Each structure stands twice: as C-alpha cells, then as structure tokens.
Structure 1
C-alpha cells in the first residue's frame, strides 16, 4: 500500500488543478471587476536593504527593519556577473560556501553548519523536505526575480533544519503589461544554453507568466555530459475585488555531471588527472521535480488578510555509479569500488493556512502548516563491485555489481506546525519583533525487505525576540535572540538507530548595524553572532560502544557586507565572513575527544569582491571569490586547501533590446577542490573558460 502511494501520487495534484479550474470558472461568471495589477519590486543593486524580505519574516519587513542578517541578490546583479547557476550567485553572498556533490545535489555551508539538514532551500517560500540528505532545486536562476538569504536560525519561519541559513529563490511575478525576454549562450566545456520568458494579461482580471530554460555541457571532464531543462508557469487572477487566486505548475529535469571527483596522488591534487572521469561508462544520475501550487488570498478588511496555500511536490531521483576511487602508487593504478545504485521516490502534499493583521503600530501573522510526505528508498546495498583502471587512457567499463537493486524501505511522514509572529512599533525608531513556532513530526517506517518497522514522533519549539533601533531614517542597530532545531539525519530516511533521538537544539545571539547612505548609493552591514547547538551524537563516556545525544558545538563570528557606487559609472560589492566554529563536546570511537576541533566543510574565512563599470552601451566587471582552508573530518587530520578564483564579465548593449555579454571564469586557471567526496578524492572546480551570451528584452 505504501508503495502504491509513492508510485501513483495523483490525488494531491488533481486537487490542486481542480481548485484552479473551479476558481477560474467561477471568475468567468462574475461581473466585470476592477483591473488587477501585479507588480514586482523595482530592480535594486547592492544589498537590497530597502526591499521587503519575505524569507526572514512572514510580515514582509524590509531588510533595514529586520533584526537579523539578510541579503538580497537581484536578477540584474546575477546577470551582470554572469552567474549561470544559483550556487554561483549564492556563494557571492556573505559567508555561504558551496559543498555540492552528485550525492547531495545542491548543498552549502554557513555560520559553522553544513549540509541540507542545516541549510534550508526554498522556492517562493515552499520547501520540499530533504530525503536522504539530498536537495535538487532551485539549480539555475532563470525565471527568478531575486534570491534572498537569511543567515542563522530561521526555524520560526520555516521549521527545523535551518540553523545555518535559509535560501529562498523568489519567482518573477505575472504582470499585466506584456513583456518578453530570451537568452542564448555558448561557451567552454561545449556549453549550450537557452531561456525564454514572457508575461501578459488574462482578460481584464488576471495575468500569466511562462519561463522555459535548457542547458547542456561536458563539465570539463571526460564523459562529463550534463543537461538540464525546466518549465515554470504562473497565474494571478482576481476572482472578486477581495479574493485573489495565484497558481503555479512547474516541471524540471536534470541529468547532472556523472563525476565523483579526482583521486589524490601522494595526498595532493594532480594536474595531469584534471580531465579524467573515473566513473563507469554507463553511469547515470537523474533528478525529476514537479510542483503544483494554488493559493487563495482573501482581504477580509483593510487590516485583515486570510490566505490558504495548497502545494504538491514530487521528486524522482536515480543514481548508478562507481563512486569511490583510490590511487595506488605502487601499481600506478586507480582502484574503484562502491558500485552504488539508488532510487528516490518522494511526494509531498502541504497546506498553509495563514491570517495577517496589519493595523496601526502592530503587525501580526499566525498560521498552521500541515504536510504529508511519502518517501521510498531503493538501493543495491551493500554496494559491492570493484575494478582497477590506469590513471589515464583507460576504458571506463560498465556498472557491474553483485548486489541487486531492491526496494529497501518506505516512510510516511506527517508534519504539523503552528506559528505566530508579531512586529510592534514601540515608537518611530524602535521595532520589536517576536515569534514562536511548534513543529511536530510523525514518521512511520516500513521495511520492504522483511525487517521490522517502527513509528517515531519528534517535536521542537523555537522562538525569536529581536529589536531594531533606527538611529536615523537609514541607519539601524539591531539585536536578536533566536532558537531552532535540526534533525540528526534526514527525517524522511530515519532509521531505527536514530528513531530514539530527539531533534538537536540551537540557540543564537546576534547583534549588528545596517546603514544606507546617499539615497542608497552606498549600503553596508556588519554583524556579530554566537550559535550553540546541543544534542549532537557522541559516544557514551562510560560505554564507548554506545551512542548518546550529549555532544555540543559552538560557532561565533563576524560578517561584513558593503555595496558602494564609487562614481557615476563605478560600483564595488564586497563581503567578508570570519567563523570560529568548534566542537565543545564530541567523543568518537575509542572515546577520542574532538573538543576544540573545527567541524568539516567550515572555512574560517571567506570573502567576495566585485568591481563593476557601467556607462553608455558598455558594462564590465571583475571579481574574486576566496574560500579558506576547510577540514574534511572531525579530527581535522586532512584539509581542502584555500583557493581564490577570479572571474570577469564584459557586456555591450547592441540597442535597448539586445545585450551581448562575455563571461570569463577562473581567469588564472586555478586547480582547486570545491569539496571532498572522500579522504582519497576531491571534486575539482571548473577550469578556465569563457561563455558568450545574448539577451533579448521586449
């Protein structure tokens, strides 16, 4: 029965489509209503302090008023810098480091915490819960208006799994004024890409938007072919003067690069192996994501708004690869093992009922979120198979494992969350923000191989209290205390060993300053923070063979961001993050203490710099991205070296509709590791390359 629900998830999407169709039909029978105008926020450069931020708060406070570290990345800035993937843009923000791999899809590190159980990724405020540590979208910025980043615990807004940061890609909204945009590109690594998007009116009461995108490349390694495509659709319709319908229906397919890293030679990166791919010849990775959303918004009165949002999301993922490589110097060969085949089938139906009150000095929002998630995991555990190939000039062979691919387990997870958030203007210069949230997760797991199943219930409470003090209209000091929680492992793939554990607890204290000068021509922010996370897994000191929840980790640091117009044509964007993270209490096998060690994937320092020029028909820019040394293990015995990558872009407006741009990446052709896949292999960053794009806007 569980398998059928996982494989045939038609009822939730049918309900969403039925709601859309019925509402539209009802609207057609209604008398003519006033024209609906759906407008996007004006394009902003810099840090976006004046923009309303829907990620850090459900009250749409501006970044200037929000007592937290938030940042906004506009489409204009992403295009000017030539950021063709979401992770390229996100890692230009303050303190975010890319740790993506074919195993976890898309993943980041922030404020001392790493991975998809600590960094939440959303699209338009919708979050697909993480299955087996994997997240697969949003991957490219086409069709998005801007990307918002909230650093630190965001559990009051989006539940557990957001201690490090929350990243939200906000879609371009439907507009009644007709417009069209397109892009085509060609570049190194046999890259080809194209995108198109358009918006316009529906009758006298609605608007639509369509965005389509596709790309392909060889990934700069042998047999590294990758491709990606998506279709995004949006609708906004006024059913009555006080009742609006918004809907989305999306589909995305990805065939990521089937590359799991390059083996180290004598403990170092080897330039002669830079182009080699040690995966098998018939390797496969595929992600397919579908989403349907329908939201009704009722303006009950000028002060009260009630909305209900129904969402259905489905993910199908497939891996078949040889994933572990070790260079044997004595025989001068590469030994391959871990022939792993895995499939995920995940569907999530979620509903959010919310009421907002905005009157006078007080703004209040309260809501109830409920979701059901079906997840099925199929694999060929224990992942047998091995082979040996020469370092270069080898035949890749085929996937050959003695272990059959079989359904392993299925889980049904029910979630319920209640939240309340209040922003109260104590005076013209003081804003108090308070919020609380309760999450409850009920997980039922059934083995599909005859083992015993189990049920588990997990719960968490989180809260936030912050104060913003405006020293002047565009200068703010803020402080906040917030709490959150993270799962020890993916809730959807919870096993019996972890079912007895509760969610980890995190607490943050943060203070900072935000300032906008010269009518927004200069913006800067600075923040100091300290986060403590308890109940991580450690060994029992009295019984080293037993694991308990007694470990703890702290992270403290400083962040600085600035965006300044140096002159009429010049602009500089810069940020710097310093992170002092360590385990305070952690025992591993043999009661070995890791106290004082830095957690894996956490650089002590990261920084970004971008200098831009724009005048008449020309625009140009150049910048550097620095990521400090990161350890790959809890014992800090092995580290990824620090690296600096220099990029540049040059654009020419052929006319007011057409822009031609040359993007240059890794100008120094730096050989560097973006992340590790094991202690014997690292994933390499792209080599030096160029890409030419043409953009049309009408």
Structure 2
C-alpha cells in the first residue's frame, strides 16, 4: 500500500546521498580499471567441517569458523549435491540441532535450541532478510545457485538483524567469475518429479563478470492432487568501475506453487497408513508465492586498511492461499469433516539500505554500519473463515472452495526500521582473539484498518550485544566462550494488531562455551558446544487477572551439541552430529489460569542426530545416512506429541567423464511412515514416502 507519511521518505534521502558520495569518489579515481584477483583452488576429496573456511554469517570481519567464538556450520554446494539434498530444508536439517517444522502456512520454518518459527530462526539470502509477515518465509527453498548454506546457532548475530534467538541461516550465492564455466542438471524421479537447472558465469567486457542461475522443478510427491512446481532465475553482475571502486548487482525472480496439502487426519489418535497419499483439500485449492529482489552494492577501497560499501535492496513478495485447512476424522460416521475455508493474500514491498565501513588494521578489524528500511504490507483475507463439508476417507470427490465470507482487504502496515551496529575483532597475540559486537534496532509500525476499525502507531526498540573470546592453545585447537543477547517480536512486526501493539520485543540472553579441533592434518575435525539461553517477556496471562495478557512469561533452554568429521581411509568419510536440548517454560500461564511452567515448548525435540558415511574414489561416489528426530509436543500443555522417527537415505554417483556425472538418490529407504510436523491437534503433515531420483549433471 502506498503511504504519503513523511516518515516514509526519511530513510531514502541518506541512502541516495550515500550512493552519490560513493559514485563521486569513484569518479576521482584512476580511469584504468581492473578486476580484483581471484584465486581458484581445486576441490578436496573431502571437505570435512570447514573449520578453516571464512564464515560470512557469524561475522562481517572475514573470520574463519575456528576463529569465531560461536557455534557455526556450513554446507557446500558439492556436499549438498553428493547427499542428494534437493531442498534447502533437507540440507539444513542435516546440520546440528535444526528441525524442519515447515507447512503450507509458514512456508519454510525450523526449530533450533528450544525456539521455533520464523520469528526466532532468521533466514537470509546473501545477508538480506525479508521482514517476516504473518510468520511466513518462502525462500531460499532449493540450493541451486548457492555456494554455501551457513548456520549460526543461538542469538549471536549483531550484523544481520537484532539477534534472533534460535539460529540464523544464510544462503551464500555463487559469485560471478571472469573464468567462463557452465553447469547444468536434469533429474527425474518418483512422484512424477522432473527438475532442471543451468548455471553460467564468465567475463563481461574488460572489467566485469556475470553469473546466471536458472532452475525449475515439478512433481506430485506421490500424493493425490499433490502437484507442485517451482522456478527461479538468479542473475549477478560484478564490474570494476575503477581500480578502487566495484559495482555488484543482483536481479532475481522466484515463483512457487507448493503442494496444497495441509496434513492427514489422525485415526484413533494415531497416524493411519491407510490414509497415506490422501489429500483432503478442495479441488480448486491454491497456494502461490512470487518473490522478486534487486540489489546494488558499491564497494570503495579507500585505503589498504579501509573499505566503504553501500548496499541498496528492493524486495517484493506476493502470496496467495485458498484452501480448506482443518480436517477431523469421525469414526462413528466414517467421514472426514473439513472446516476453515481460508483465503489469504499478502502484498509486501521492502526497500532497504546498508552503509558500512570496514577497517583492517592488522591485529584489529572493525566493521560499523547503518541499516534503514521501509516495508509496506497489505493483508487480505476472508476472516472469520467459515465453510464446512464432509467427505469419505477415501475415494471422495474433493469439491470446490465454498466460503460464506468474502475475500477483502483487512489491514495494511507501514514499517520504518533503523539500526546501527559495530563489530570489533582484536587479536591479543597469536593465541587470543576478542570479538565484540553491539547493535541497536528501532522500529516504527503504523497500522491502518481497511475495514473501518481503529489504527495505531507502535514504536519498538532493542539492543543486541555479543562478547566472545577464542583461545588457541595449539594451531589446530580452539576453545571459546561467549555471551550474547538478542530479541524477537511476540508476533510478526508487519502483522501487529491492536491487542499486541502495546508489547515490546522479547529479550534473550545466551552463555555458550565450546571447542573446535582439527586432528591428523585435517583428516579429523570435531566441535562441541554447551549453551544456556533464557528468553523473557513472552506473552502470558496476568496472574492477578487471568482475563488479561501481559509480558511476564519466560522460557529457557540449555543443551549440548557435538559434531565430527573423520576420514576413515583415503576414500571414506564419516560425518555425524547430535544435539540434546533441555527446554522448558520458566513462567507461562495460559487460558483457564493454567500454568505451563516446567513444560517443554511445542516443536522442540529433546534429541536429534545425523549420520552420513561417504565413499569417493576412481570416478565413483556413494553415501548413506540416517536422520533422527526425537519426540516433540505439539502444544504447550504437553498433552499430545509427534512420535520420534528415523529415516535412511543413500546415493550412488558415477563420473562418466570429467564433464558428466550421473547420480541416483534414494530417499526414506525403509518407507517409514512418520509425521514431519503437525498442523492441528487432529492432523499431521506426513513425511515423504520411499522414492528414488536420477540426476545427470554437466560441468564445462
């Protein structure tokens, strides 16, 4: 929605000024431009845990994973491809302690360290995060075009947002290079799956480089009326305007039509194998996501020790849902009753800018920046979501979407954000590194009802901090400790309503310590972390008046995470991780004046683990692995739970020649019947059944 408020233009003037200053500065530089030198190294047979690789998510100071006093992990494109992970969530949940809780309503969502959802787990693409509206995040969804997926656990990021409590996930793009290369992929598999991708990079004129990545897939997931499709085009350009001034640009378009599947109803309180493959949504159900993004970044190397950059981003999201979403099986009548005929549309526009200076003075490295953004969001729905119907458990006609409630614009919000941050890494000799960071965020949210109700303006603020120390008793060993803090909104900022507009952001604090070690010249690597997190100011009922809600609740978690990578022999690599999470509400009163203190939050497993054994030699590569997710409650009352499950996967690949590789991916080898998450107390979303997929990849 277009706003004429003066606040709308406030962040734009300094943005334009900053860009103009950078451009003028570049004009004063020499006219003979050259691209910076890029060193390309051959891939190792086994990557291990990548402790010596720089991590761009936990810090903006080019620190390696071993130097960082934080729990970080990364997955390379080659690792994801060799494991056959064709979705980002499949790859991310092979990292330590991350659990998939995605559904058609929230898009892509995770649980980590005792906290769940897109408010507590940030998802970034090249460091850019679209503001979350109504709890929904829709990308990145597939790994094509990304060099790494990086995971930072806990409220440890002061450079990408206010420090979300559970984790930060960042998909790092493949960068343009002047060395020409081409890669392509095609795949076919169970559930009528078809997929294809192409990626190309090369020189652009005398001083530039480009990259283009395109991808599309479709399939039905072996589900009745489960047709889904997805496509995207990612474009990147780098150009040396002068020897000191670089221009980088991105222009992306993504479209998704996910499965219109909201779960399978329980029978006698359990999962019924006889209903596997059934879809109880209406025949004309619709889910549609369209995301566009444009980014322009100027980088000016003012001096050998000083770099200034300005990054301007524009993002839009269009989302549409029209579904019957609630299903209950009634044994006496042997029917499934459907309700909640829900139609919702999101129209979101976000403009943001990050102005940053970096100083690298040898022992001391500093980054400081200012971020400003405006977000316009319009929510259209057919509340109160009436409509109902009954169908037989199998062999039924799905019917059409029929709601008595009209679809109409409900509200719009205009949000202005400003943030200042600083990060400092100081080497205290050869063995000690002190990392400190501070960030302050301010949000102003204006809500206008489009149905004649009262509007409001709400101002929120938070300060996040991080202080960590890394000690290297030996060149291959790091011990670290850190204190960090962060904040989450009690609900999506863009979706604030009148009842929660008075709430401030929640506050979280974390204490963490750990070890990172490389052994036998890098043939074995392992990490371990111990942490405790407390989150205050969650919404609870007022003990003095249970009819009122206040910010007096608290929840906490503590746990241990262990990961290891061991080269058992020149051709064999074993990778494993495990997480134990002890999470509970310290104080929470819900409706009926019922205390949930001591209960475990929903969607949080106590234990989770991953194992992967791979072989690579003589043009062949193979792998097999297991994924374990422990029991999770679906409610804060801990009255109903999702059973624990273990799934087994395998891959087999053959290099036909130096340019062509064929790979067979096998998923859920035992055809385990399990629930990946719940959608309500009466229905669970079931995980994929056993299937195979054959892919061919070309590289030139």
Match of 1:536 in 2: 538
Cα shift at 1:162: 1.3
Offset from partner CA, 1:616-651 (integer Å, 9 cap, x none):
011100000000000000000000000000000000
Q: Aligned to 1:473, which of 467, 472, 475?
A: 475
Q: Aligned to 1:262, which of 236, 242, 264?
A: 264
Q: How far apart, CA to CA, are the structure 2 residues paired with 1:273 and 1:56?
A: 44
Q: How far apart, CA to CA, are the structure 2 residues paired with 1:553 and 1:424?
A: 34
Cα shift at 1:463: 0.5
Q: How does 1:321-400 map to 2 (within 5 A)?
A: 321-400=323-402
CA 1:38–1:371 in structure 2 vs 1: closer, same or farther (change >3 Å)?
farther
Paired residues of 1:666 and 1:689 also in contact (CA < 8 A): yes
Q: How does 1:486-565 map to 2 (within 5 A)?
A: 486-565=488-567
Match of 2:641 in 1: 639
Match of 2:34 in 1: 34
Residue 273 (structure 1) aligned with residue 242 (structure 2): no
Match of 2:687 in 1: 685
Cα shift at 1:32: 3.7
Q: Aligned to 1:74, which of 54, 73, 76?
A: 76
Residue 127 (structure 1) aligned with residue 139 (structure 2): no
Q: Aligned to 2:466, which of 464, 467, 472?
A: 464
Offset from partner CA, 1:367-395 (integer Å, 9 cap, x none):
00000000000000000000000000000
Match of 2:2 in 1: 2
Which segments of 5 or more consecutive residues in structure 1 lack a partner in the other structure?
none
Cα shift at 1:37: 3.6
Q: Aligned to 1:627, which of 626, 629, 649?
A: 629
Cα shift at 1:58: 1.4
| Superposition RMSD in Å | 1.9
CA 1:420–1:645 in structure 2 vs 1: closer, same or farther (change >3 Å)?
same
Q: How far apart, CA to CA, are the structure 2 residues paired with 1:532 and 1:3?
A: 38
Q: How far apart, CA to CA, are the structure 2 residues paired with 1:470 and 1:30?
A: 43
Offset from partner CA, 1:543-589 (integer Å, 9 cap, x none):
00000100000100000000111101100110000000000100011
Match of 1:147 in 2: 149
Cα shift at 1:46: 1.9
Q: How far apart, CA to CA, are the structure 2 residues paired with 1:64 and 1:386?
A: 56
CA 1:684–1:39 in structure 2 vs 1: closer, same or farther (change >3 Å)?
farther
Offset from partner CA, 1:458-478 (integer Å, 9 cap, x none):
000111100000011110000
Match of 1:447 in 2: 449
Match of 1:248 in 2: 250
Paired residues of 1:3 and 1:376 also in contact (CA < 8 A): no
Paired residues of 1:185 and 1:193 also in contact (CA < 8 A): yes
Cα shift at 1:696: 0.2
Q: How far apart, CA to CA, are the structure 1 residues paired with 2:557 and 2:49?
A: 24
Cα shift at 1:498: 0.6
Q: How far apart, CA to CA, are the structure 2 residues paired with 1:613 and 1:513?
A: 28
Cα shift at 1:4: 10
Q: How far apart, CA to CA, are the structure 2 residues paired with 1:209 and 1:134?
A: 29
Q: How far apart, CA to CA, are the structure 1 residues paired with 2:479 and 2:499?
A: 45
Moved over 2 A (4+): 1-5, 29-44
Q: Aligned to 1:588, which of 570, 587, 590?
A: 590
CA 1:118–1:645 in structure 2 vs 1: closer, same or farther (change >3 Å)?
same
Offset from partner CA, 1:51-107 (integer Å, 9 cap, x none):
111100111210000000000100111000000000010000000000000000000
Paired residues of 1:36 and 1:204 also in contact (CA < 8 A): no
Q: How does 1:657-668 map to 2 (within 5 A)?
A: 657-668=659-670
Offset from partner CA, 1:345-381 (integer Å, 9 cap, x none):
0010000000000012111111000000000000000
Match of 2:484 in 1: 482
Q: Aligned to 1:173, which of 154, 172, 175?
A: 175
Q: How far apart, CA to CA, are the structure 2 residues paired with 1:33 and 1:261?
A: 57
Cα shift at 1:36: 3.7
Q: Aligned to 1:654, which of 650, 656, 660?
A: 656
Q: Aligned to 2:605, which of 603, 606, 612?
A: 603
Q: How many residues are treated as equivalent by the alignment?
A: 687
Residue 205 (structure 1) aligned with residue 207 (structure 2): yes
Match of 1:221 in 2: 223
Q: Aligned to 1:670, which of 672, 677, 682?
A: 672
Paired residues of 1:325 and 1:337 also in contact (CA < 8 A): yes
Q: Aligned to 2:578, which of 569, 576, 579?
A: 576
Cα shift at 1:3: 7.6
Cα shift at 1:516: 1.1
Cα shift at 1:38: 4.4
TM-score, length of structure 1 as denominator length: 0.96
Cα shift at 1:447: 0.4
Paired residues of 1:312 and 1:349 also in contact (CA < 8 A): yes
Paired residues of 1:40 and 1:172 also in contact (CA < 8 A): no
Match of 2:119 in 1: 117
Match of 1:406 in 2: 408
Paired residues of 2:35 and 2:243 also in contact (CA < 8 A): no
Match of 2:291 in 1: 289
Residue 159 (structure 1) aligned with residue 161 (structure 2): yes
Offset from partner CA, 1:389-411 (integer Å, 9 cap, x none):
00000000000000000000000
Cα shift at 1:48: 1.3
CA 1:193–1:347 in structure 2 vs 1: closer, same or farther (change >3 Å)?
same
Q: How far apart, CA to CA, are the structure 1 residues paired with 2:280 and 2:40?
A: 47
Q: How far apart, CA to CA, are the structure 2 residues paired with 1:165 and 1:91?
A: 12
SS in structure 2 at match of 1:275: coil
Q: Aligned to 2:620, which of 614, 618, 621?
A: 618
SS in structure 2 at match of 1:452: coil
Cα shift at 1:517: 1.7
Q: How far apart, CA to CA, are the structure 1 residues paired with 2:337 and 2:463?
A: 48
